Amino acid sequence: MITPKEKIIGGIVFTLVLLITLYFWINPKDYVTKIISNMVKEQQEQIMKEYEEKVKQYDKDLKDLKSKVQQSDEKINKLNKKIKGLEVEVDENKKPETIDEMRDRFRKLGYPPIN
């Protein structure tokens, strides 16, 4: 049989279970919502930090690439000027009229005359 001591312990346990159940019934998801909102805030902060770091790196890379493009454009402009100068020289180039003129041209090109 059940002794009075067991009845008292059973009543206390039942009362505790009832109080805990009532507490969670009154505040059903408050503790879960807080935990989830804290986790979301932490994730959001971490994602924003990583995003800002990536944006800084991309900005740095963009500046580097822009400077390289500018240097390349300057080189292209210099080469285009050289090409135009050479085109003018080619257009102005005439056949040599004398043998001495032909020998001078060969010397300029690095071919010494045989005779």
Instruction: Tell me the C-alpha to C-alpha distance, in Å, between residue 40 and each of 11, 12, 31.
Output: 41, 39, 14
How confident is the model over 53-92, as pLDDT tens digits? 999 999 999 999 999 999 999 999 999 999 998 888 887 7
pLDDT of 91 reads 79
Distance in angstroms (rounded) separating the CA atoms of residues 67 and 81: 21
Average pLDDT over residues 26-52: 87
Q: Show me where the domains of the chain are located.
A: 4-92
Structure-model confidence comparison of residues 41 and 31, the more confident one: 41
DSSP annotation string for the chain: ---HHHHHHHHHHHHHHHHHHHHHHHSSSHHHHHHHHHHHHHHHHHHHHHHHHHHHHHHHHHHHHHHHHHHHHHHHHHHHHHHHHHHHHHHH----SSHHHHHHHHHHHT-----
Of the pLDDT bands very low, low, confident and very high (cuts 50, 70, 90), residue 21 is: confident
pLDDT of 63 reads 97
The distance in angstroms from the start CA to the end CA of the chain is 139
Of the pLDDT bands very low, low, confident and very high (cuts 50, 70, 90), residue 17 is: very high
Of the pLDDT bands very low, low, confident and very high (cuts 50, 70, 90), residue 115 is: low
Distance in angstroms (rounded) separating the CA atoms of residues 19 and 80: 89
The pTM is what?
A: 0.48
pLDDT of residue 112 exceeding 70: yes
Contact between 106 and 113 under an 8 Å Cβ cutoff? The reply is: yes
